[in-house]
Amino acid sequence: VSDASGCSMIALLHTGAAKFPQSLLPRARQAVCSLLPTGVLKGYGSIVNRKLASHGFGASMAAMSSFPPQRYHYFLVLDFEATCDKPQIHPQEIIEFPILKLNGRTMEIESTFHMYVQPVVHPQLTPFCTELTGIIQGMVDGQPSLQQVLERVDEWMAKEGLLDPSVKSIFVTCGDWDLKVMLPGQCQYLGLPVADYFKQWINLKKAYSFAMGSWPKNGLLDMNKGLNLQHIGRPHSGIDDCKNIANIMKTLAHRGFIFKQTSKPF
């Protein structure tokens, strides 16, 4: 109910924002906008925005999301590319190490870590590897070793506040291979420790199957198709795959899906 100036509706938002269902906020915003005269709207808009922000609804009404809150403050989207050939070479070595820091409240990308890695056992990339990943020899030659890259990941995690015990974050991968097989296997081969934050993750394929009721046999391509999303970049580019994973997660979150850890504790 509103008077001519819409003040009653604003008062409702002022006093009831803490208990107001988040899913109804976009409708409330439309109601306020339709009831307020243009001049009044400008004056009251910032007041309502500030009031809602003080209740944890974001910095502006336009930025408010209508999906339920996630269990994590941040999702760390990761997708390795590694040396490969047909038949497969052993050991495989990580050659691209991308991470996207996804805000668990807005599902927007806040920060990016992206480095190429110099392979040491098989330093020369195969034509098959270059064709599959788009990574050419010059992109890995002279790059840091995996040990050096892992040190820089730790520095980035610290800088982003992700090592704070009060901050809940978890890695997200398209499958279990990256953190169950690839990273621990190469670290074991090189005699390197695996940081604890790499030991729990969300397998996006499992999350998608829980949300949509079907298993994405062809990974990102099937998930994008199932959600009517345009594929970003080229398949098997680590950084592009991360962007697709983030886009799929955002879409599922907007549909009300809440992400949970799928890996078993080490």
Q: Which residues have a catalytic role annotated?
A: 81, 236
**What would the 3-class secondary structure string for the chain be?**
CCCCCCHHHHHHHHHHCCCCCHHHHHHHHHHHHHHCCHHHHHHHHHHHHHHHHHCCCCCCHHHCCCCCCCCCCEEEEECCEECCCCCCCCCCCEEEEEEEEEECCCCCEEEEEEEECCCCCCCCCCHHHHHHHCCCHHHHCCCCCHHHHHHHHHHHHHHCCCCCCCCCEEEEECCCHHHHHHHHHHHHHHCCCCCHHHCCEEEHHHHHHHHHCCCCCCCHHHHHHHCCCCCCCCCCCHHHHHHHHHHHHHHHHHCCCCCCCCCCCC
Rounded CA gap, 7 and 185, in Å? 63
- Specify whether the CB–CB gap between 150 and 138 falls below 8 A: no
Rounded CA gap, 93 and 155, in Å? 22
List the Cα angle 45/48/50 in 5-degree steps.
105
